[in-house]
A and B are shown apart, each in its own frame.
Chain A
Amino acid sequence: MGLLRYESQVRPPLVKGSKNYHDVTVDICRPVEARPTRAWWIGFTISVLFLIFGIVSVTMEVIYGTGQWNLHKTVGWGYDITNFVWWIGIGHAGTLISAILLLFRQGWRTGVNRAAEAMTIFAVICAGQFPIWHMGRVWVAFFTLPYPNTRGPLWVNFNSPLLWDVFAISTYFTVSLLFWYTGLLPDLATLRDRAKAKWWKMFYGVAAFGWTGSTKHWQRHEALALVLAGLSTPLVLSVHTIVSFDFATSVVPGWHTTIFPPYFVAGAIFSGFAMVQTLLVVTRKVLNLEEYITVEHIDVMNKVIVLTGSIVGIAYLTELFIAIYGANEYEGFAFLQNRVNLNSPYGWSYYIMMGCNVLSPQIFWIRKMRRNILVTFFMSILVNIGMWFERFVIIVTSVYRDYLPSSWATYYKPTIWEVGFYLGTFGLFFTCYFLFSKFFPVIALAEIKHILKRSGDVQKDRMTEVEHEKLEEFVQEHGHDHGV
């Protein structure tokens, strides 16, 4: 039996089909080594077109100012900050999958972590665009950094949540990138050693940093991954907590609530997993990786979606209850008149949010639905729409009527350039994702090989036989060791 580790038969196999190590390499490297398909070119072209539209939209804003977006008093934060929070929320699933699930020793993360981390990085890049271009005079964006300047030096306000955001998001981006890239090194080395063409040998040779896979390297690599996971876990929680502080530390009714940090974090994980589902359901089909990203993976992620969706639902109800019970008339007004009241200008958005985020994921209590690919795909889109409306509800319905009724905003509608900017970030996101899925292995090769002997199909069958033959002896010898 050698290194064969005991894993309960209750856990379904994570790699389908009778694979050996070489098969795994070949399967996962195939999309990278093959020429791009027609579908890839079509998708890539559409993404680039969207990106170009986004660039044009941003250019309009830089030339003419943020007035190009329909922002005014009192709606100073509209689509842009909604989109920012939406993207940054999506950017939470990758690190959650790779870091928190690494600490919790969840074997299933190996199939999805690489793509999810990549998605995180692209989502954070997209998110970062919004506060940066929202500054208006973007050429002085560096004023947000504490550098010795000629104005005193006048330091930035370290007590401000907006500055915390600058630090949180740039740190999150850097750490996610480092975590992702160090994880990629061994797989890039595999591609390098398999490459036939001169150009690819050079490209992957440079990208793999000269990785050899020696035991010393692996030992340090594992230590690094573990510590980075340990650091990323509080980091991922801190980032969305700090984003929620942008609202929670203000005195705007509807924002000024202590429930925001946990509520935002749960929402971030919720929307992040939905985006992972959207991407992976398509990726596994198109790249022929259904044996690695199995229905089991989709099932587990749907469980996370129903859990976090319900947490978010509880948060919505708690918030609403406190608004009614709390006897603060301004907060009560923000909730009952601006949100719950269907006849108010944005009342509809509150119900879209409730429907998409709280009610619809409840379908995932049914096992059959969790394992249905079409339902999963449809639900993941629905959740992403719902989560966008959550941020829209929080931001716009809180600010469009402030304390002074004479300054209540007329109906805030986004302009074409505001929508164009949002579509442009979709372009950016999918352009990056298409390039990633073409040039990098979308599944962590080394990690799949690592769990193959425990969670592969064939090994599971063999293990079942041994288990049936002499159970007690087996458990004594191998223990219930689930070590990853």
Chain B
Amino acid sequence: MAIKKFVVGNFDDEAVLFPAVKKVRRAGYKIHEVFTPFPIHGLDKAMGLRDTSLHTAGFIYGITGTSIAVGFITWALTTDWPIVFGGKPFFAFPAWIPITFELTVLLASIGMVLTFCYLCQIAPFVKKDHFNLRSTDDTFVMALECTDKTNEAEAISFLQSAGAKEVQVMRKETGWWLGRYDKDRKPFGQ
């Protein structure tokens, strides 16, 4: 939750953006974030982001679902209230596979989506600052964070030379706050 200063370059082609990201990183600028209208494969690697561990989380949720299903059904049908169904043993594992599977999938999915929302910090009524409204349409936006050492003019010309169509300096809130997109009020002042 802090307002920072950014040099923002707008690109109109991902084929230009991609080498630009590499160039900018090589030149030592700190890329705050790149906003794109659709996923660009390999951009996360080019930006030096680490792989997401969402898969691992999903696996853990899934295993939890499996354990809950097997554990609970075993307890309910063998210990808590054993009933003979069709002459089968109390521990009729094959008949529990469907529910075990469904619960595995259910918990993995719900857990992963909630984790996804948490990691991305997104939820209904969450509002974030925009760098460029066209970044969900057809513009690729690269935001460089300005530190004390950054020479703004140099960064601007560097982005322009890398192929940015338009470069601006902006002050933007990096976090999120509760708000609605039809109102401009911000809780943290600008």
Contacts and interface: CB of A to CB of B under 8 A. Distances in A.
Contact of A178 (B19, B39, B109): B109
Interface string B101-115: 111011011101100
Q: What DSSP secondary structure best describes chain A's contact surface?
A: helix
B52 to A, nearest CB: 5
Contacts of B18: 2-3
Interface residues of A, number: 77
Given A174-B106, A213-B37, A215-B34, A227 B137 contact: no
Contact of A205 (B81, B110, B181): B181
B49 interface: yes
A210 interface: yes
A227 B98 contact: no
Interface in B86-137: 86, 88, 92, 95-96, 98-99, 101-103, 105-106, 108-110, 112-113, 116-117, 119-128, 130, 133-137
B36 A3 contact: no
Contact of B110 (A160, A178, A190, A214): A178
A149 B18 CA distance: 60
B166 interface: no
Contacts of B126: 209-210
A220 B119 contact: yes
B73 A158 contact: yes
A182 interface: yes
B185 interface: no
B49 A219 contact: yes
Contact of B49 (A22, A167, A189, A216): A216
B105 A201 contact: no
Given A204-B181, A242-B98, 17 more contacts: A21-B138, A161-B98, A163-B99, A167-B99, A192-B181, A193-B130, A202-B182, A205-B127, A212-B128, A212-B135, A213-B36, A216-B49, A227-B55, A228-B113, A446-B37, A446-B38, A449-B37
Interface of A: 1-4, 20-22, 25, 146, 152-155, 157-161, 163-164, 167-168, 170-171, 174-175, 178-179, 182, 185-186, 189-190, 192-195, 198-199, 201-202, 204-207, 209-224, 227-228, 231-232, 234-235, 238, 242, 245, 445-447, 449-450, 453, 483
